[in-house]
Amino acid sequence: MTPSDPVTRASRPARPPRPADDPRASTDPRGRRTRHRRGGIRTRAAAIAAIGALLLGPLLASAALAEDATPTPTPTPTPTLSGTVDAVLSPTSYGVLHEGRPLSVWAVLRNGTGYALSASTVALRLGTTPITDRTRLTAWLAGTAARPHLVAVSTATLDPVGPGQTEQTLVTVPAANPALHALKPGVYPLSATITHAAQATTVTSVVVVGDPKATAHTPVGLVVPITAGPLTAGLLTADELTTLTAPDGELTAALNAVAGTSAILAIDPAIPAAIRVLGTSAPQSATDWLSRLDTLPNDRFALQFGDADVATQIAGTAGTLLAPTSLQSYMAPADFNPTRQADQQTDQNGPDTPATASPTPTGTPTTAPDQPVYPTLARLQSLGPNTRDAVAWPFTGTADPQTVAAVAALPATAPATAPGSAASVPALTLVSSTSTAAGARGAAVPAHGIAGKAGVLVYDAAVSKALRAASLIDDPAVRGASLAAVTAYLDLAPHTAPLLVAVDRGTARSSLGLSSAVEAVTGAPNTTSASLTTLTDARAVPVTVRSARVDPTRSTALDTLLRGQARLGEFSAILADPTLITGPERASILQLLGGAWIGDPTGWQAAVTAHEKATSTTLAAVSIAPSSPINLAGTAAPLRFGVRNDLPWPVNVELIARPDDLRIEVQPNTPVVAHASSTTRVAVPVRARIGNGQSTISLTLLSPTGMRIGQMQTVRVTVHADWEVIGLTVLGVGIAGFLVLGLVRTIGARRRRQAADAADEASDAPDSPAGGDR
Would you place residue 731 in the very low, low, confident or very high pLDDT band (cuts 50, 70, 90)? low
Q: What is the pLDDT of residue 414?
A: 41
Q: Taking 80 as the threshold, does the pLDDT of residue 96 lie above it? A: yes
Q: What is the pLDDT of residue 368?
A: 58
User: Residue 59 pLDDT > 70, yes or no?
Assistant: no
Enumerate the domain spans of the chain: 85-209, 218-348+371-413+423-542, 622-721, 725-757
- What does the pLDDT read at residue 119? 93
Task: Flag the least confident range among 180-189, 377-386, 685-694.
Answer: 685-694
In this predicted structure, the answer to whether residue 407 has a pLDDT above a threshold of 70 is yes
Please enumerate in sequence order all residues whose Cβ is within 8 A of that of 44, keeping only pairs 6 or more positions apart, or say none. none
441-454: average pLDDT: 92
Q: Give pLDDT, residue 325.
A: 95
State mean pLDDT over 259-288. Answer: 96
Question: Does 515 or 741 have the greater pLDDT score?
Answer: 515
Q: Note the pLDDT tens digit of each residue in 623-636.
A: 999 888 877 766 77
CA distance 599 to 737: 91
What's the rounded Cα separation, in Å, for the pair 391 and 393? 7
Whole-angstrom Cα distance, residue 435 to residue 399? 7
**d(C-alpha 482, C-alpha 486), whole Å:** 6
Task: Specify the 3-state DSSP secondary structure of 189.
Answer: strand
Q: What are phi and psi of 450, to 5 degrees?
A: -135, 125
Residue 57 has pLDDT above 90, yes or no: no
Distance of CA 678 to the CA centre of its chain: 30
CATH no. for 622-721: 2.60.40.10
In this prediction, residue 566 carries a pLDDT of 95
Q: What is the pLDDT of residue 718?
A: 83
Range from 115-119, 309-313, 493-497 carrying the lowest mean pLDDT: 493-497
Q: Quick check: 693 pLDDT over 70?
A: yes
Q: What pLDDT, on a 0 to 100 scale, did the predictor assign at position 364?
A: 46
> Looking at residue 470, what is its pLDDT?
95
According to the model, what pLDDT value does residue 488 have? 96
* Average confidence (pLDDT) over 492-509: 90
What confidence score (pLDDT) does residue 410 get?
80
Judged by average pLDDT, the poorest of 2-16, 220-234, 659-673 is 2-16
Instruction: Over range 412-436, report the average pLDDT.
Output: 68
Q: DSSP label at 5? A: P
Per-residue pLDDT of 310-358, as tens digits, reads 999 998 876 789 999 999 999 999 999 876 555 555 444 444 444 333 4
Confirm if 427 and 412 have CB atoms less than 8 A apart. yes
Specify the pLDDT at position 369: 62
- The answer to whether residues 273 and 359 touch, using CB atoms and an 8 Å cutoff, is no
What pLDDT is attached to residue 64? Answer: 35
In the predicted model, is pLDDT for residue 116 greater than 50? yes
The SS3 of residue 652 is strand
pLDDT of residue 722: 54
- Residue 508 scores a pLDDT above 70: yes
Is 433 in contact with 444 (CB distance < 8 Å)? yes
Does residue 195 carry a pLDDT above 70?
Answer: yes
Q: What is the mean pLDDT of the chain?
A: 83
The string over 580-618, giving b where at least 16 C-beta atoms fall within 10 Å of a residue's C-beta and e elsewhere, is bbbbbbbbbbbbbbbbbbbeeeeebeebbeebeeebeeb
Element holding 278 (H helix, E strand): none
Q: 387 or 418: whose pLDDT is higher?
A: 387
Q: For residue 506, what pLDDT is reported? A: 86
pLDDT tens digit string along 559-569? Answer: 999 999 999 99
Q: Within 10 A of 692 (CB to CB), how many other CB atoms are there?
A: 13
* Residue 214, SS3 per DSSP: coil
Q: According to the model, what pLDDT value does residue 632 have?
A: 73
pLDDT single digits (tens) 595-626:
999 889 999 999 999 999 999 999 999 999 98
* 346-369 residue pLDDT tens: 444 444 444 333 444 444 444 556
More confident residue, 20 or 286: 286
771 three-state secondary structure? helix
455 CB neighbour count, 10 Å cutoff: 21
Tell me: pLDDT of 18 over 50: no
Q: Which burial class, exposed, middle or buried, applies to 95 when counting CB atoms under 10 A from its CB (0-12, 13-18, 19+)?
A: buried
Domain 622-721 in the same topology as domain 85-209? yes
Average pLDDT, integer, range 138-164: 92
Does an H or E element contain 176, and which?
none
**Torsion angle (degrees, nearest 10) of CA 609, 615, 618, 623:** -100
**C-beta pairs of 329-334 under 8 Å, 24+ apart in sequence:** 329/579, 329/580, 329/581, 329/583, 329/584, 330/234, 330/235, 330/274, 330/277, 330/278, 330/583, 330/584, 331/277, 331/279, 331/372, 331/374, 332/279, 332/281, 333/372, 334/280, 334/372
Q: Are 406 and 429 in contact (CB under 8 A)?
A: no
Residue 764's pLDDT band, with cuts at 50, 70 and 90, is: low
Per-residue confidence (pLDDT) for residue 740, from 0 to 100: 80
Fold of 85-209: Immunoglobulin-like (2.60.40)
Angle between helices 476-491 and 134-142 (to 10 degrees): 160
pLDDT at 171: 96
Residue 645 has pLDDT above 90, yes or no: yes
- pLDDT-wise least confident of 66-75, 201-210, 439-448, 663-672: 66-75
